[in-house]
Structure 1
Amino acid sequence: MINLEPYGNPQYFVYLIIGLIPLMIGLYHGHRWRWYQSLVSLVFIFLMFDGAKWQQGIALIGFVLWEWLMVGGYMAYRKRFNQGWVFYLAVVLSIIPLSFVKITPAVAAGQSSLFGFLGISYLTFKTVGMIMEMRDGLIKDFHPLLFIEFLLFMPTISSGPIDRYRRWLDDYQVVPDRQKYLGMIEKAVHYLFLGFLYKFLLAYLFGSVLLPRMDLMTMRYGGHGFSWPLVGYMYTYSMDLFFDFAGYSLFAVGISYLMGIETPMNFNQPFRSKNLKDFWNRWHMTLSFWFRDFIFMRLVFMMMKKKIFKSRVTTSNVAYVLNMLIMGFWHGVTWYYIAYGIYQGSGLVINDWWLRFKKKHQAAIPHNKLTEAFAIFLTFNTVCVSFLLFSGFLNKLWFK
């Protein structure tokens, strides 16, 4: 059998486009053949976990069944009762598989969990988001088959973007008119070609050509502290991280558009950000907005409701740090991911202080193209330092 990692090589796109042609013809003529869309998705998901990855495929099946029970069970309970503790229980239980995957390598000498598979984080965010929106009354019904279609939407299953159920359902239940669909195809072609530039050219240049050389130079000549080779590694890794991930995201969005689904974009020129908050409105946006809506805002609301802090500023500052710390833990239970979360949270606190200070003293603080350029330069370097932490390279450098 053919093992096809999503968006891993041009061959994958050849098979995928061939598989999507009947669906595209149907959409062009005003029909969404759901049975065929489901069939194509299942075939390519199967190919993802064929061969040596069959255990991940079994884990995916178990995960889907587990989350189906969590989401469906919570909706059935909510329609009859409204005890808050059941909501918290449903959220905790839905996160358990992901928790095992993240914690196992930390407690079992780097071994991977049997529950793990490609894309488990993004699928978990989808289900937790649904449970929270059910509690808020935004999702009023549970449709078992639509839930599975949403969870296993093939273009985004491995690396996002993280879509929201209500937004996805609006697209899935409506067939775009011919003119709109032709526009979606045009955008899809643009995204796919841009993704090829990012993933197969620029990410290859920075990740496969330059990064190993910067690694070798830093390990050989950099020592254990600051060095120019380390700075070079930092910038090279940052570029590789962006172009690799942004390329994958563009592929997912482009394929989604061909399937008549307007999956949200994940990146919006993040290295042009003028401050750290602006950066998180541009970088991995579906993840950033998910954490904002389902963790940060709820932390702020809870702390204000319980009057834990008198000051709104203190409340938001604590929520910033906790929010980003949770994001750090989500990436993995290691000191550098946790440090990354604390760094980003503290940076957002400082950023908020600066924005308040700037607003209060706007007459005395110059604002022109030069100051904007400096703000972009400062934000870019602040972010690159955080990516150096995130890379884990310092762990290798300091403990070699």
Structure 2
Amino acid sequence: MDIALLSLILPLGISFFTLTQITFLVDCYEGSVKTSFVNYFLFVTFFPHLIMGPIIHHKDMMPQFDSLRAKIFNKQNLVKGLLLFSIGLLKKVGIADMFSSWANYGFDTTTILTLTLAWKTSLSYSLQLYFDFSGYTDMALGTSLMFNIHMPLNFDSPYKALNIQDFWRRWHMTLSRFLRDYVYIPLGGNRICRLRTDINVFAVFIIGGLWHGAGWGFLVWGALHGLAYATYSHLKKFTIKMPAVVAWCIMFNFINITWIFFRAKSFESALKVLRGMSGFAGLGLEFLRADILQYGAIIIFLFVCFFGKNSMELSNIKTPSFKTVLISICLLITSVIIMIEKNMASEFLYFNF
């Protein structure tokens, strides 16, 4: 239909801000909220989470605003927050932006992708999205911690997941919590019947897909995850033992393939990548030899995702030390140098959602 767009200008992070308000209003309606206007105003405007989350819940935040402990200078929180912020910034400008250029080339520039180029494109985007969004979350949690405020964990090494349920317990954890508490459970959850449970699960993932954007790609991405989640719920009733390596290979490849629909600007672009990954456009071994350093970087950072400690584990220091501060400063300086060298704006992916 030919409907004229209103050309409205929406503020950055409007979706994250809106979900936070929905949770507060629903809980107010149910009579489970007691707070002052000052605390509510602070809860709404607490800046570290506004742009890209995590999606905070009032019961996690407002008691901290009243706590006397939060108003006293805490050297451990300051140092830990600085380290977490520094790790997140380096994730973004040093890692995510590197993979961004390779993913953009495959999705937006090249018309035909060979096997090697297609896999480089899809894996680059999977790594870009992970380090971009988790990097921002680290920065938000780190900034908040400097003010003695603990925000909820949003990532827990999601690419280590062995099944789809485990993945959604680890990826964008605050969005999963919102969809569970304010969509899935009000729809009936698993309290009615098996068919209704499957419909509720599917609806939740469709809504989760459309929350990211009103596009067919997001709808397909959400539908695929909904089908996978419902299917796994049925299959896990059978005592089928699968080696962890096999389970991880199936899970990661599913995630990697579905991200293609999440990223592609059109179905044609998504099919181009999928066709290349299947080998229908040739092997492209000459590109493998020419871009050996890029493929090496992909392999290295995949190993980091699979086997390395995540940011929360790295920043979990018991006693602040000069060494920790020095490491944080070095990470910050490295990130600034990278930004200066790039001489261009570095935008977060989730600014678009």
- Asked if Structure 1 and Structure 2 have the same fold, meaning a TM-score greater than 0.5 normalized by the shorter chain, the answer is yes
Equivalent of 1:159 in 32, 47, 52: 52
Name the structure 1 match of 2:24: 130
| Structure 1 residues 323 and 173: CA distance shift in structure 2, 3 A | same
RMSD: 2.6
Is this contact kept in 1: 2:264–2:270, CA < 8 A? Answer: no
Name the structure 1 match of 2:148: 260
Is this contact kept in 1: 2:20–2:57, CA < 8 A? Answer: yes
Name the structure 1 match of 2:313: none
Deviation for aligned residue 1:272 = 0.2
Deviation for aligned residue 1:120 = 0.7
Instruction: Measure, in 2, the Cα distance between the counterparts of 1:119 and 1:379.
Output: 30
- TM-score scaled to structure 1, two decimals? 0.62
Is this contact kept in 1: 2:207–2:222, CA < 8 A? Answer: yes
Instruction: Measure, in 2, the Cα distance between the counterparts of 1:194 and 1:134.
Output: 37
Is this contact kept in 2: 1:217–1:229, CA < 8 A? Answer: no
- What are the Cα deviations for residues 136-194 of structure 1, in whole angstroms up to 9, with x where unaligned? 3321x353332221111111111111111121111111132799933322321221121
Instruction: Measure, in 2, the Cα distance between the counterparts of 1:178 and 1:392.
Output: 46
Instruction: Measure, in 2, the Cα distance between the counterparts of 1:336 and 1:153.
Output: 32
| Structure 1 residues 295 and 107: CA distance shift in structure 2, 3 A | farther
Instruction: Give the partner amino acid of 2:21.
Output: T
Name the structure 1 match of 2:226: 345
Is this contact kept in 1: 2:87–2:138, CA < 8 A? Answer: yes
Instruction: Give the partner amino acid of 2:106.
Output: M
Name the structure 1 match of 2:247: 375
Is this contact kept in 2: 1:271–1:380, CA < 8 A? Answer: yes
2:256 is aligned with 1:384: yes
| Structure 1 residues 381 and 398: CA distance shift in structure 2, 3 A | closer
Name the structure 2 match of 1:220: 112
2:103 is aligned with 1:211: yes
Residues 13-24 of structure 1 aligned to structure 2 (within 5 Å): none
| Structure 1 residues 254 and 398: CA distance shift in structure 2, 3 A | closer
Is this contact kept in 2: 1:185–1:258, CA < 8 A? Answer: yes
Instruction: Measure, in 1, the Cα distance between the counterparts of 2:227 and 2:116.
Output: 26
Equivalent of 2:200 in 310, 319, 333: 319
Name the structure 1 match of 2:180: 292
Is this contact kept in 2: 1:218–1:230, CA < 8 A? Answer: no
Equivalent of 1:144 in 27, 37, 50: 37
Name the structure 2 match of 1:71: none
Q: Percent identity?
A: 25
- What are the Cα deviations for residues 313-367 of structure 1, in whole angstroms up to 9, with x where unaligned? 222211110001111121222211111111111010111112112xxx2xxx446
More helix as a share of residues: 1
- Structure 2 portions without partners, runs of 5+: 273-353
Instruction: Give the partner amino acid of 2:85.
Output: L
Instruction: Measure, in 2, the Cα distance between the counterparts of 1:135 and 1:144.
Output: 16
Residues 11-50 of structure 1 aligned to structure 2 (within 5 Å): none
SS of aligned partner of 1:299: coil
Instruction: Give the partner amino acid of 2:67.
Output: V
SS of aligned partner of 2:187: helix
SS of aligned partner of 2:188: helix
Instruction: Give the partner amino acid of 2:120.
Output: G
Moved more, 388-397 or 161-170: 388-397
Moved more, 386-395 or 323-332: 386-395
2:113 is aligned with 1:113: no
| Structure 1 residues 180 and 189: CA distance shift in structure 2, 3 A | same
Instruction: Measure, in 1, the Cα distance between the counterparts of 2:3 and 2:154.
Output: 32
Equivalent of 2:216 in 335, 338, 354: 335
SS of aligned partner of 2:186: helix
- Structure 1 portions without partners, runs of 5+: 1-105
Instruction: Give the partner amino acid of 1:181.
Output: N
Instruction: Measure, in 1, the Cα distance between the counterparts of 2:14 and 2:71.
Output: 35
Deviation for aligned residue 1:107 = 5.1
Q: Which has the higher contact order (CA 8 A, sep 6+)?
A: 2
Q: How many residues align?
A: 271
Is this contact kept in 1: 2:64–2:149, CA < 8 A? Answer: yes
